[in-house]
Amino acid sequence: MSRQFRCTPVHRDAQDPTRRGAVTRLEQKERTRRKLIDAALELSAARGFAALSLREIAKASGITATGFYRHFRDMDELGLVLVDEVGMTLRQLVREARSRFNAADGRTKASIAAFMDYVHRKPHLFRLLLGERLGGSTAFRSALHGEIDRFVAELSEDLEAQAKELGQPTDDVLLAAEAIVAIVFTLGAEVLELPRHRHAGLAERLVREVKLVLKGAGLDSSPAPSPRPEKDPAPAAVSAVAPDAPTRRTRVSGRPEGPRRRA
């Protein structure tokens, strides 16, 4: 009677201690790199990335200043990684939110809701996009403006498709996208300073302003909001004088003035 043996596959890394050690070192390096990125994001929330030092970030990450250079060439390179990560994450969230709706009104509200939620959950990341555009190095400022341009480019593509669906010209699509991104980022800065219970009101304001831009560019087919009904005018005072009775002028003193004499 022959025995049957079942072969259990063995991972190549388990057979090769050298390879297993290399994988472990790569994982460790990636974890350390992640610590540096997270520390930079956390510290930049309080004072801005431009005010941070290499030694400060290294210390917060639990490594030496020399160890920093194993992961990044300098602070500028770290800053570029931060900007890319923040911009990519936010654009992906907004893109996913817009893809769930077909109607323009639904896409607008979903995009703003996703944006507001991101700003609330990760304010330090959004501060990075806002606070460093006028400071830091030339490369860092250029990267920040590049992220804003990517937001505009993605939105303009979406608006162009929307214009074609509505049979509208696409001449003003880019201008509309630039205006919307400017509005969203400006009001996003206000969100950072407001308590959570006031976010809903700001979100409604943001939706209205974006819809105004879309309406002006001919990219919003939703009906305009109905005007508020005006209050009924107060009823006219009933005159105590009979309709056919002659009227008499009254002086300031309140005494009736008699009929004027003819000259």
Q: Tens digit of pLDDT for each residue in 178-200?
A: 999 999 988 888 888 888 888 88
- Model confidence at 55, in pLDDT bands (50, 70, 90)? very high
CA angle 236–238–240, rounded 5-degree value? 150
Q: Would you mind telling me the total number of residues written for the chain in this entry?
A: 263
From the list 186, 189, 183, 181, the residue with the least C-alpha distance to 155 is: 181
Q: Which fold has domain 74-223?
A: Tetracycline Repressor; domain 2 (1.10.357)
Q: Tens digit of pLDDT for each residue in 169-180?
A: 899 999 999 999
pTM confidence score: 0.68
Q: Tens digit of pLDDT for each residue in 106-152?
A: 888 888 989 988 888 888 788 877 766 656 667 778 888 888 999 99
Contacts of 215 (CB under 8 A, 6+ apart): 224
> Which residue ranges make up each domain of the chain?
20-72, 74-223
Question: What residue has token string 């994988």?
Answer: 23
CATH 1.10.132.20 is the classification of domain 20-72: no
Average pLDDT over every residue of 230-256: 45
* Packing angle of the helix pair 138-166, 75-99 (nearest 10 deg): 10
* Packing angle of the helix pair 104-121, 199-216 (nearest 10 deg): 140
* Separation of alpha carbons 40 and 82, rounded Å: 8
